[in-house]
């Protein structure tokens, strides 16, 4: 089974977590679909993304919030997702490297 290594953009944190490629691709698609129109609060990302996933995918994923966080962090490293700087809750928007 193909796996994708997911890293974190946090300074001083080495290593990665490998997740199945189908999970990565499924969550990545849902995240990017949510960020196409506007900024999204990170706290809402899993709930909003859940609406884009099939019942079958949801049953196979395991913890949706954990996978959303893991994939979101890797997307930040790759420049597809960007944290909006400012006070308050973490907000996300599309980055420049979305292919």
CA–CA distance, 11 with 88 (Å, rounded to integer):
21
Architecture of the domain delimited by 3-7+17-94: Orthogonal Bundle (1.10)
Residue length of the chain:
99
Contact of 98 with 51, CB cutoff 8 Å: no
Domain residues of the chain, as ranges? 3-7+17-94
Report the predicted TM-score, pTM, of the whole model to 2 decimal places.
0.90
Q: Report the relative pairing of strands 17-20 and 3-6 from DSSP bridges.
A: antiparallel
Contact of 92 with 45, CB cutoff 8 Å: yes
Output the tens digit of pLDDT for each of the chain's 99 residues. Answer: 799 999 998 888 877 899 999 999 999 999 999 987 689 999 999 999 899 999 999 999 999 999 999 999 999 999 999 999 999 999 999 987 766
pLDDT score at 1: 77
Tokens of 56: 């079958």
SS3 content of the chain, % helix, strand, coil (to 5): 45, 20, 35
């Amino acid at each position: 089974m193909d796996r994708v290594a997911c890293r974190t953009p946090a300074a001083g944190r080495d290593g990665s977590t490998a997740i199945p490629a189908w999970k990565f691709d499924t969550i990545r698609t849902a995240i990017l679909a949510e960020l196409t129109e506007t900024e999204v609060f990170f706290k809402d990302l899993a709930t909003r993304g859940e609406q884009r996933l099939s019942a079958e995918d949801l049953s196979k994923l395991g913890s949706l919030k954990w996978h959303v966080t893991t994939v979101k962090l890797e997307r930040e490293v790759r420049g597809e997702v960007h944290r909006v700087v400012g006070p308050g809750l973490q907000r996300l928007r599309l980055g420049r490297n979305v292919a």
